[in-house]
Amino acid sequence: MIGFTTLENSGFLFNIYIGILLAGLIGIFVVSEKLKPYLSALVVLLVSLITSLIAIQGINSNGLEFLIPGGSFIGDIPFRIDALSAWFMLIINLTMITGVFYGIGYLRAYKPIKSIITLHWILLVLFQSSMLWVCMVQNSIAFLIAWEIMSLSSLFLVLFDHADSKVIKAGINYMVQMHLSVVFLTVAFIWVYFETGTFDFKGIDIYFGSNANLWLFVVFFLGFGLKAGFMGLHSWLPHAHPAAPSHVSGIMSGVIVKMGIYGIFRVITFLKADFILLGEIVLTFSVLTGLFGIMNAAVQSDFKKMLAYCTIENIGIIGIGIGVGLIGLGKDQNVLIFLGFGGALLHVLNHSLFKSLLFYSAGSVYQQTHTRDMNQLGGLIKKMPQTALLFLIGALAIGGIPPFNGFISEFLIYSGLLAGIHSVDIAQTTLMVVSVAGMSIIGGISVFAFTKTFGTIFLGSARTELHQEPREVSKIMLFPQYLIVLVMLSVAFFSGYFLNVILTILNGSFHVSMEVGNVDYLRYSSVLQHISLYSFLFLAGIGLIYFIRKSITKNRESTYQSTWGCGYVAPTSRMQYTGKSFTKPLSKLFNFVLIEKKNFNELKSNEIFPVSRKYSSSYLDFWEHWLINPATKYLDLFIDLFKFIQNGRIQAYVLYGIIFILIVFIGTVFHSSLQ
Amino acid sequence: MILPALLLIPFLYIILAILIKSKKVKTWLSFAFSLINLGFAIWVMAQVFEAGMIKTQMGSWPAPFGITLVADRFSAFMLLVSALVFAVVTLYSIQSVDTARIKNGYFLFAHGILMGVNGSFLAGDLFNLYVWFEVMLMGSFILISFGGERAQLEGAIKYLILNLISSFFFVAGIGILYGKMGTLNMADLSQKIAQSGDVLSQLSPAMVLIVVGFAIKGALFPFFFWLPASYHTPPPAVTALFAGLLTKVGIYSLIRIYTLFLYHSTSFWNPVVLWIGILSMVIGVFSASSQYDFRKILSFHIISQLGYVVIGLAFYTVAGLAAAIFFLGHNMISKTNAFLVAGWVHRERQTLNLKVLGDMFKKNTLWGVLFFISAFSLAGLPPLSGFIGKYLVIKAGIESGHINVALVALFVGFFTLFSMVKIWIEVFWKNTPPEVEAPVNTKPLPHGLMISASIILALAIVGMGVFAGPVVNFCEMAASDLLNTELYINFVLK
Amino acid sequence: MRNIILEKIVKLFLNVMLIFSVYLLFRGHNNPGGGFIAGIIAATGFIFYAIIFGTESVKKMIGLSSRKWMGLGLLVVLITAILPVFFSKAVLTSLWVPGDFPLLGALHIGTPLLFDSGVFLVVSGMILTIVISIMEVLEWN
């Protein structure tokens, strides 16, 4: 293990943190309805501040450790904050701060019951703390408790919109899958306990030191992967994210999914062997996850669902980084470790930034239009220019386009793959080549998908009449988004600083020693900085030209014409290219994964005057359709068997009893004759 | 001297209830007597805490011949928890049970049940145990059949028949036992069996009958069918009382005879009890997930939760038994409280069908929180008592090498959580389905006493979770007393 | 239609049954008999009476309602149970009146008799309650 230092000071900070948390929870419960949101924001802010201080100490001091008494059962709960935990804690805090402020504005549109609002804010505060605990504790029981609190509090946050039965259904789906994850994790932890006799995470270290690494890691990976949303384990995401209120989906997609990634990283820090095999597995799985996620994202017409699938894609990218890093660990090549793990860690930060930005701006659209179907929207750039700009920035960042931050981490991972191609064996080389291809396809479709989404929602003209005229959202909702943009740009322009932090993390947590400031690593950051700079200059140039043009044309008269319709004189909004038609070729191409479901009545030939008809189509999730739905169906049938046993006939019950007694009697006879 | 008091107090109330006419006096006297009973239970607890065990020989006849009342730590714990549950349910009933039932002696028969329960926990010989079972059955049958709607009578008949069968098995077993051994005092029997090595194999028919009798009482697999068939029919307060007390007596007796007699042939009984426990857990929880009635779901969960207790017994270690005892206490409190909340919902909406309920959280937040506490305690979430219980059972399982059983227990826990969240969402969170007509009375009915009853139990749940240390220590002491059979024998026969 | 012979016989029968039941009650501690059987026999007498004269007359004759009678019996039982406690003995321990009486000599009087009397009241009260309510429901009179 890494040498942890115990600091008096951090224990003190921790006590303050607990004090603020408790006071805050009680305070939110007590104060008037109007103050609740602001108080919650204050509590989140303070908690973030203090835990960030702890986290920064953790990074600087190569790991903190302090014990919190946990009663006679768990014993002292070890809180260990190494650089890895600290990194995730900072990400959580940042996302929570933006989320809570955005949430204040977002919830203003709702007028629900007081008790529900109270519950919502209390859970939000609790949710933050539970995620922080997940990062801090290193005792499996305490970890599972924190994990469970995190799942449940987020479940009730998802269930905010209680009037909608779809939301309820999504919530139940979410809960069941989260518990599947807990089952895997518990099995893994019990396994460790059974072999080593300790609930401390050091037990995992001991286990990996003396046993085969593969299977335990796989169980952990399944447990954490369910949270992270790897392909096949992802099916809660596309349901829960659209169902939740937007600030919650932003936080969920931004950080709760990353807790799964945190878990995987945490287990990797204990790994002792089988690196290459595991790396290959993770890499393959992740490439498929990315492809699957982005293909589905491209064809969705519900824009929040689209963002949810896009999260799956990004988890795939992070997973590719992890896979590369694992192979690097196996081959003992520091460059691969740096590029793989470093890229993955940085992408965790980046994704949390731009995905929350996208969810927030999408939430603004939803708040103003009350629909999530992009094919009903259009031309919103004129009504909501700032939101449109923010969404565009998010979309560019997620597509990995410089000068935004998504580019940096994806570049690192690409470099990792490329560096891997000429530095490992033929088997991995093949895998790397395929992965590079896969990742470029992912990137391409990603740009494609966001072009479609942005174009359909913000460009063109409105496709349907909305109930109310959409307006730009309030400042309190815009402010957090600008904050995110600021952080995103800082990541892009000061990537050298961030890479140094990541080197610290890798040194602190992954049994490697990489000199901070080594040219090998800084090479990448200077390249990145240059690219960022030039692309920013390019953008600035565009902006400059725009302003010059505007100032020139300011005093001139200009006329606006409607869009040229190829000579057609009365173009309507329905003649626009829809999102669906945009992606039709893609869905045709990949129709073995993208299952289209069409709802319409066939036109029968003998109908003389056909009545008006409806046509709609949607895309089914491949895994849900072929794996999860059949599985639940059989589970239902299985559970119905028990209904048959409990059939209400008293004779039958007596009969069961008599059969049992007979069996036991016969058992006693055999038993005594055996003796 | 104080042990008979626990029997005489309910008895005195029964007399007074017969002699006094005024409904109001009867009602409040009932609450007062339940409090006195609680006081005595605490007193017994205090004494047992000091001395380890106390006993009274009724009528001054010495032990193997007379009637012995014994309270060891396990009994004292059960007495205390059941007294608490009873007092709370009585308080709750004052407001929740309708006037007609109170007039017809609701409290009288409730005290009859209390007398039977107390008697069973104190009984030192098998025949007395049987008698107290019968007392309990009589009181409970009348309570369950009061009112006489069709569904209720159907449930009552099932309840009666299966419980009579249980009594029949039990008394038949007692008969065989008496014929072979010539004594029914449990300590004496245990000693005689221990002394005469191979006699237990001849007694297995009797033991099988007795175990089956207890298993029916305790609603264990495969004898649990009477419970879900009948528990959802009577008024909620009655169900709460039954859920808190009745099945637990069966389990108590099972633990008692296991630690006194059956442990001599563990190689046979251990797997039997273990499988009963596992199947109860699994089948109970699976059956619950296909149900759509508030109380039916809770009823099935009684079965699955008793399974936890039984596997704790089957581990047969100090940790396992301590876990079983703790879990039993926790389950009495949490389950009763869940039924109390169901009672409030029923009072407000006259139905407990999940499909037509909704909006209850908006109606009263506090009740929602109370349900939350009890349901999530049942599901085993920290920092509530259920978490400690489940944790102890699973840990005991791992430590005694039953890792598969521990995993099954965990798995069942997740299904429990699923059911509880289902109830929470369906009853408290979602909107009432639009096709259901909104309930007419928008003004909430008075529920001050009901809610204070529920709050007391909720506090007990939280307290048992947060301050679990002393309780678990006590349970461990009780468990090691139970495992040390000699101690019990010597104390009773001294 | 009144049947005088039957009425007379039943009145006589009731008296005989009552006396016999008291006899059984008293011999009960050492010989076959006791509170339970005595109670049943006494109740039988009343039931016959009720069949002939109707339930109302039995109620009038008993004075108290049979429910109260039951309660009273239970109370007596309870008192006998607790009485030894005041002499610092275990619950339900038998207490005996010590010494000889003038004229009557040595008598064997103690709490068991009281207990039996309690049981007598309970049993007869219970049977009467059940039978009378059945008769009333069936409109036997």
Question: Do A542 and A642 belong together in one domain?
Answer: no
Surface of A (79-138) touching B: CB under 8 A: 113, 115-116, 118
pLDDT tens-digit series, residues A187-233: 888 888 888 888 888 888 888 888 888 889 999 999 999 999 888 88
Nearest to B18 among C74, C90, C94 (CB): C74
Question: Which chains pack against C, by 3+ Cβ pairs within 8 A?
Answer: B
- Name the least confident of A49-53, A651-655, B249-253, B273-277: A651-655
**Residues spanned by the domain of A98:** 1-273
CB contact under 8 A, B59 and C67: no
- Residue A3's pLDDT is 45
CB contact under 8 A, C89 and B60: yes
Q: Nearest 5°: CA angle at A185, between A181 and A188?
A: 145
Report d(CA A103, CA A160) in Å as an integer: 12
- Interface mutation vs chain B, best among A669, A671, A673, A674, most B CBs within 10 Å: A671
| A615 belongs to a structural domain | no
Residue A157, burial from CB neighbour count under 10 angstroms (0-12, 13-18, 19+): buried
CB contact under 8 A, B223 and A657: yes
Of A273, A291, A326, the residue at which a domain comes to its end is A273
Evaluate if pTM is beyond 0.90.
no
- Interface mutation vs chain B, best among A22, A157, A179, most B CBs within 10 Å: A179
In DSSP notation, A183-220 reads HHHHHHHHHHHHHHS--BTHHHHHHHHHS-SHHHHHHH
Q: How far is C25 from chain B (nearest CA, A)?
A: 21
Of A521, A551, A581, the residue at which a domain comes to its end is A551
Nearest to B4 among C70, C71, C91 (CB): C91
pLDDT tens-digit series, residues B445-490: 778 888 899 999 999 998 888 888 889 999 999 999 999 988 898 8
Instruction: Give the total number of structural domains in chain A.
Output: 3
Question: Do A186 and A300 belong together in one domain?
Answer: no
CB contact under 8 A, C78 and B1: no
CB contact under 8 A, A168 and B201: no
Helices B365-379 and B318-349 pack at an angle, to 10 degrees, of: 150
Q: Which residue of A has its CA nearest to B151?
A: A648
CB contact under 8 A, C91 and B1: yes
CB contact under 8 A, B57 and C67: no
CB contact under 8 A, C91 and B12: no
- Residue A142's pLDDT is 86
Q: How many CB atoms lie within 10 A of CB A432?
A: 25
**Residues spanned by the domain of C59:** 4-138
Surface of A (185-224) touching B: CB under 8 A: 186-187, 190, 193-194
B19 to chain C, any CB pair closer than 8 A? The answer is yes
Question: Do A163 and A128 belong together in one domain?
Answer: yes
| A514 belongs to a structural domain | yes
CB contacts < 8 A (A, B): 134
Question: Do A368 and A410 belong together in one domain?
Answer: yes
Chain C neighbors of B8, CB-CB under 8 A: 78, 81-82, 91
What residues in chain C have per-residue pLDDT under 70?
1, 99-108, 140-141
Nearest to B398 among A155, A159, A193 (CB): A193
Q: How far is C12 from chain B (nearest CA, A)?
A: 32
Question: Do A218 and A305 belong together in one domain?
Answer: no
Nearest to A90 by CA among A394, A281, A321, A346: A346
Of A273, A302, A322, the residue at which a domain comes to its end is A273
Chain B neighbors of A69, CB-CB under 8 A: none
| A618 belongs to a structural domain | no
Residue A38 has which token pair? Answer: 């602001």
Nearest to A183 among B388, B410, B429 (CB): B410
| A289 belongs to a structural domain | yes
Q: Which residue of B has its CA nearest to C75?
A: B15
C51 to chain B, any CB pair closer than 8 A? The answer is no
| A596 belongs to a structural domain | no
Surface of A (151-170) touching B: CB under 8 A: 152, 155, 159, 162-163, 165, 168
Nearest to C90 among B8, B16, B59 (CB): B59
- Name the least confident of A617-621, B58-62, B375-379: B58-62
Q: What is the DSSP letter of A256?
A: I
- Interface mutation vs chain B, best among C92, C94, C121, most B CBs within 10 Å: C92
C78 to chain B, any CB pair closer than 8 A? The answer is yes
CB contact under 8 A, A145 and B382: yes
Whether the upstream peptide bond of residue B383 has omega within 30° of 0, thus cis, is: yes
Surface of A (620-639) touching B: CB under 8 A: 638-639
| A617 belongs to a structural domain | no
Nearest to A183 among B205, B411, B431 (CB): B411
**Residues spanned by the domain of B198:** 2-493
In DSSP notation, A535-569 reads HHHHHHHHHHHHHHHHHHHTTS-----PPP-TT-S
Question: Do A299 and A426 belong together in one domain?
Answer: yes
Nearest to B94 by CA among B174, B30, B162, B7: B30
Q: Is residue B422 predicted with pLDDT exceeding 80?
A: yes
Buried b (16+ CB within 10 A) or exposed e, B311-345: bbbbbbbbbbbbbbbbbbbbbbbbbbbbbbbbbbb
| A660 belongs to a structural domain | yes
Q: Is residue B132 predicted with pLDDT exceeding 90?
A: yes
Residue C50 has which token pair? Answer: 């009720």
B68 to chain C, any CB pair closer than 8 A? The answer is no
pLDDT tens-digit series, residues B72-115: 999 999 999 999 999 999 999 998 888 888 888 889 999 999 99
CB contact under 8 A, A190 and B468: no
B394 to chain C, any CB pair closer than 8 A? The answer is no
Instruction: Give the total number of structural domains in chain C.
Output: 1
Q: Which residue of B has its CA nearest to A640?
A: B290
What residues in chain A have per-residue pLDDT under 70?
1-11, 70-74, 112, 514-522, 562-565, 567, 569-571, 607, 646, 648, 672-675
In DSSP notation, A318-356 reads HHHHHHHHHHHHHHT-HHHHIIIIIHHHHHHHHHHHHHH
Residue A614, burial from CB neighbour count under 10 angstroms (0-12, 13-18, 19+): exposed
Question: Do A292 and A379 belong together in one domain?
Answer: yes
Instruction: Give the total number of structural domains in chain B.
Output: 1
| A327 belongs to a structural domain | yes
